[in-house]
Amino acid sequence: VEFPKGAILNFQLAQKHGGDNSDDNQTHNLGRWRLSVTTATNAVADPIPANVREIFAIPRDQRSARQIATVFSYWRTQVPEFRETNDKIESLWKQWPEGTPTLTLVARAGAAPGDERRSTHMFKRGDWLKPGTEVTFGTPAMLHPLPPNSDGTRLTLARWLVDKKSPTTARVAVNRVWQDYFGTGLLETPEDFGVQSPAVSHPQLLDWLATEFMDPIVATSGEAAPAPWSLKHLHRLIVNSDTYKQSSRVTPELLERDRFNRLLARAPRSRVEGEIVRDTALAVSGLLNPQLGGRSVYPPAPEFLFQPPASYGPKVWAEEKGDDRYRRSMYVFRFRSVPYPVLMNFDAPNGDFSCVRRPRSNTPLQALTTLNETQFMEAAQGLAAKTLREGGASDDERIRYAFRRVLSRPPTAEEQAELKALLERQRQRIADGWVNAAELATGRNQVPEVPPGMTPTQLAALTVVSRALLNLDEAITKE
């Protein structure tokens, strides 16, 4: 830019950032900026880092040891004679790990664990600027005390939590596992074991399970000597019990005597959790990717959910295309403000607060999800393809194969006839042109492919049957 000597330059800075939330009220204007003018042809920024230049402004005799070290570290990089030494230093720094994969607790230099602990105060009327009485570490007086001469570290607290003198932790853990299997814990309120909570339905059973959990003495079939605090041992105890193996069939007499099954006169019957609903559909279809560990994944989801106003600010949801598309639901990425909709429809909690008990609803939206959602549709296509490959040559064999994969039992004669009639109706609809066989068979993404030797018409008709099976109440109900 050319301008005459003595010219006055006027700069107008336009900040057009309108915000990234649903209300567009996050302006984020620049709070501090500076413009510089130079006559140099190839202008460069200040070669001296800003933090070093700030130290230069401090008189030499007033600089701290850390400031002197910062200046020296910069100075040595500017001396050509130190190039070889600098390269060695950089090489050594590259060998230093950026972090550790596990949490490491390090005591302060020159201090034993628990020494020089930061003081904690009660705030007057909640004002952090007005600290009041100093408080120290401790445990509820109604429970067992900490060991004498405790140092107050987190390791001490962890050992106190699992101390056999008070099996509270074991009781809570056992109750939550029981709740997962039976729908309701031996204590109905897993988050509250206090005196105002409901009475335990089977107090002696809860105490025995807690004791067995901490110090196991019962060996289940196919199990070596169980280790203390073994969840696997606890699961085996429950699922091998006669109580869990009962029938879930309800008779009028049982319903009258024990409406909510608190006396455990029958096995539980309830819809499985949202994650299991999705994983089951993928598993029976042969699409489930059983890989353990790794990054979070992004299965199909409506794009509008991640844009304002549905979302508090735009979010990136890069839909998976390969095998990661079918990873287990525990690996599905979840935004706190926009949970994955499939799981939310089946009562999965969001990230706003801790959830110890999930509600179990039964809504039309759940049926629409298992009928029309992208991944359930792909699961139906996958089950149809697997049935054509492995289920036999006749319609009856294929129907029995698909039925057993989904419901873990053979179909009755009436069920067999109904599904065969459905298969014939779909073939007729395809022949009449009411259904696009290619799209129904493989979808727009060509997942899965038509098995060799089979036609899209065969796969499409069987996809409808598979879709009906996956949408059965029995397919998502534990009983």
pLDDT digits (tens, 9 = 90+) for 149-164: 887 788 889 999 998 8
pLDDT for the residue numbered 45: 74
pLDDT for the residue numbered 28: 65
Average pLDDT over residues 308-331: 86
More reliable by pLDDT, 46 or 399: 399
Range from 8-12, 39-43, 112-116 that averages highest in pLDDT: 8-12
**C-alpha distances in Å from residue 382, one per residue of 326, 387, 417, 458:** 11, 8, 23, 13
High-pLDDT (> 70) share of the chain, %: 90
Average pLDDT over residues 453-478: 88
pLDDT over 50 (residue 139): yes
For 341, other C-beta atoms within 10 Å of its C-beta total 14
Average pLDDT over residues 307-330: 86
Give the tens place of pLDDT for each residue, 273-299.
999 999 999 999 999 999 998 899 999
Give the tens place of pLDDT for each residue, 365-422.
999 999 989 999 999 999 998 998 888 889 899 999 999 999 999 999 999 999 999 9
More reliable by pLDDT, 62 or 454: 62
Residues 472, 476, 479: CA angle, nearest 5 degrees:
105
> For residue 327, what are its two tokens?
């990873």
Buried b (16+ CB within 10 A) or exposed e, 68-83: eebbeeeeeeeeeeee
Chain centroid offset of residue 330 CA = 5
pLDDT for the residue numbered 100: 47
CB 186 within 8 Å of CB 206: yes
pLDDT for the residue numbered 447: 52
More reliable by pLDDT, 202 or 438: 202
pLDDT over 90 (residue 354): no
Q: Which residues contact 386 (CB under 8 A, 6 or more apart)?
A: 285, 286, 405
pLDDT for the residue numbered 110: 42
Tell me the C-alpha distance between 301 and 342, whole Å. Answer: 8
pLDDT for the residue numbered 112: 54
Give the tens place of pLDDT for each residue, 201-255.
999 999 999 999 999 988 876 667 888 999 999 999 999 999 999 888 888 988 8
